[in-house]
Amino acid sequence: MITVTKIWLTEDAVWIRTSEGIEACEYFDNYPRLKYATREQRANYIADKYGINWPDVDEDLSFEGFFCQKKQTELQSLFINHPELNVSAIARRMGISQSLFAQYISGLKKPSKERMDAIYSTIHEIGSELLAIRMNG
């Protein structure tokens, strides 16, 4: 487990320093929700022993992800291409933790085929519910 002793923000990235003195960053440009967030939204983050959460923009980064080789996962592509999808709301709807769902998205954990099917099924259910909405005209 990575122990982070310091977190700071620059204009273009979030930086961390570990207890071993190793520094790493993630660039906002790689995360559309953070890229388009205001300075105030970026500054409003919550950190725990696993990572950082920005509740105002529904973004999570795990500390382990700062040190992984970046290869975009299928889920990461889905959420990058559809920033209107609310990651934490989908995790809640599925009854799984936000941090676990964030690890699936980042590729730190690989969901089983059944879990991937459940994720897509949940997203499709949301889409069907939205399609069923009728506007009064």
Average pLDDT over residues 40-68: 93
Average pLDDT over residues 19-47: 92
pLDDT digit string, tens, across residues 83-95: 888 888 999 999 9
Q: What is the reported pLDDT for 69?
A: 67
3-state secondary structure of 77: helix
For the cut 80, the answer to whether the pLDDT of residue 136 exceeds it is: no
- Dihedral angle over CA of 108, 35, 117, 70, nearest 10: -30
DSSP state, residue 36: T
For the cut 70, the answer to whether the pLDDT of residue 13 exceeds it is: yes
Q: What count of other Cβ atoms lies within 10 Å of the Cβ of residue 102?
A: 25
Distance CA 69, CA 89 (A): 28
Residue 122: which residues within 8 A CB-CB, separation 6 or more? Answer: 90, 93, 94
